A = this chain, B = another copy of it.
Amino acid sequence: MAEASPDAAARSVVVGVDLGGTKIAAATVAADGTLGPVRAVPTPAAAGPDAVLDAVAGLVREVVAALPGGARLRGLGVGTAGVVDVGRGVIVSATDTLPGWPGTDVAGGLRRRLADLASDGPSGDAPAVPVFVENDVDAHAAGEVWLGAAAGARSALLVAVGTGVGAAVVLDGRPLRGAHHVAGELGHMPVPGAELLRCPCGRTGHLEAIGAGPAIHRRYLALGGDAASPDTRDVVARAGAGDELAATVVRDAAQAVGRAVAGVVTVLDPEVVVVGGGLAGAGDLWWSALEGALRAEVVDVLADLPLRRAALGNEAAIVGAARGAWSLVGPSGDQPGTRPGGLGEETHRERTTT
């Protein structure tokens, strides 16, 4: 088989995918992080894992087909809902958002579906697309560390506060996975202020029971707030408009996040903290309460720890997942990326020492 020409390598792209419970979004991401046009389709979650993988593969084909003629798929990165075994590219566990998702071999399923798009392999190996799969919060974090609010940091805590509360811990430039693939479950930290409040996990006193978006709405109603308030966004708006109870509930939620973050940074001592998710747009009341609680708790040496708002928005997970794929295939055009066996633990370790 002929060596790939520089020209062919230039038409060999990496695609990043953000795979959520309601929407799949994808785009090309260049080695320098430049994002192509984002295409999206609804997630056929109810139709099961095979349908979801079909939809991902179809979307990736669309993205590649939209490029100048003859482009090949050099690597694919996927950030997905659920707990991921990154070394194997397999889903360990997931919520009901994606029925049947646990156990799904995302990497293998997409490699099979997209083999015809693969760049040529060296010396007669069957072509295969290197596929990198990680949890979507980790993908978000990887994006922010690569090109966003934590760009250049070797270590960071990235927190997402929205429907739930999640986090990613980046050390030596890569998201910490954990012994059970669940590192970063910030939402289930015990936190002062959440005592007796019920967490979605069934226990009491965890951060998510007071700090997540739905908790704000629920608590506002439970404390006697206006029963006509439809959702968290409304409670946040009322807080901004001077509703004392709404303000208290929003402030309590933000302070709980701040205290939890304080606990984590006290033990991890990262370079920077980045906060994103729906509530990161909740305004100054929420931010100042979070930051106030954080700074009040930490020891002196951490007093100036940078606290930043996530910068990349919805594209962060696409970019971050693509970064994982780039780390598999390498930035140069010399080796257009066939790796027999795909994402073994060894591949993962190689990645970690670069």
Q: Does A188 contact B (CB under 8 A)?
A: yes
User: Per-residue 0/1 for A182-206: is the Cβ within 8 Å of any B Cβ (1 yes, 0 no)?
Assistant: 1111101111101100000101011
* Contact of A296 with B by CB under 8 A: yes
Q: Which chain B residue has the least Cβ–Cβ distance from A302?
A: B180
Say if the beta carbon of A301 comes within 8 Å of chain B: yes
B-chain residues with CB within 8 Å of residue A296 when the two chains form the complex: 203
Q: Are A270 and B178 in contact (CB under 8 A)?
A: yes
Within 8 A of B (CB), among A231-286: 259-260, 262-264, 266-271
Contact across chains for A269 and B179 when beta carbons are under 8 A apart: yes
Nearest B residue to A260 by beta-carbon distance?
A: B263
- Name 11 extra pairs, CB < 8 A, besides A183-B267, A201-B299: A171-B171, A177-B269, A179-B270, A179-B271, A182-B299, A184-B267, A189-B262, A190-B259, A192-B195, A203-B297, A260-B263
A321 at the interface (CB under 8 A from B): no
Check: A27 CB closer than 8 A to any chain B CB: no
Q: Are B176 and A266 in contact, with the CB atoms below 8 A?
A: no
Q: How many copies does the complex hold?
A: 2
For chain A, the count of residues having a C-beta within 8 Å of the partner chain is: 50
Q: Is A123 an interface residue, CB under 8 A from the partner?
A: no
B189 and A266 contact, CB distance less than 8 A: yes
Within 8 Å of chain B (Cβ to Cβ): is A353?
yes
Q: A269-B179, A269-B182 are in contact. Are A263 and B301 (CB under 8 A)?
A: no
**Given the complex, which residues of B lie within 8 Å of A269, measured CB to CB?**
176-185
Closest to A269 in B: B178
Q: How far is the CA of A203 from the CA of B178 in the complex (A)?
A: 31
Contacts A195-B192, A297-B190; A183 near B268 (Cβ below 8 A): yes
> Is A93 in the interface zone, CB < 8 Å from B?
yes
Min CB distance, A25 to chain B, in Å?
28
Residues of the B chain whose Cβ atoms lie less than 8 Å from the Cβ of A52:
none
Question: Which residues of chain B have C-beta atoms less than 8 A from A262's C-beta?
Answer: 189-190
Across the interface, do A299 and B268 meet the contact criterion of CB distance under 8 Å? Answer: no
A311 to chain B: which residues have CB within 8 Å? none
Report whether B297 and A185 are in contact in the complex, using a CB–CB cutoff of 8 Å. Answer: no
A316 within 8 A of B: no
**Least distance between A94 CB and chain B CB atoms (Å):** 12
Give the top 6 A-B pairs by smallest Cβ distance, nearest first: A178-B269, A189-B263, A183-B269, A179-B271, A190-B259, A353-B353
Question: A298 at interface (Cβ–Cβ under 8 A)?
Answer: yes
Cβ of A299 and Cβ of B267 under 8 Å apart?
no
Q: Are A171 and B176 in contact (CB under 8 A)?
A: yes
Of residues 302 through 354 on chain A, the ones whose CB sits less than 8 Å from some CB of chain B are 302, 352-353
Closest chain B residue to A194, Cβ basis: B192
Which residue in chain B gives the minimum CB-CB distance to A154? B179
Say yes or no for A169: interface residue by CB 8 A criterion.
yes
Decide: A169 near B205, CB < 8 A? Known: A93-B301, A180-B301.
no
- CB-nearest residue of chain B relative to A296? B203
CB distance from A184 to the nearest CB of B (A): 6
**Contacts A192-B192, A192-B205, A201-B299 hold; do A267 and B186 have CB atoms under 8 A apart?**
yes
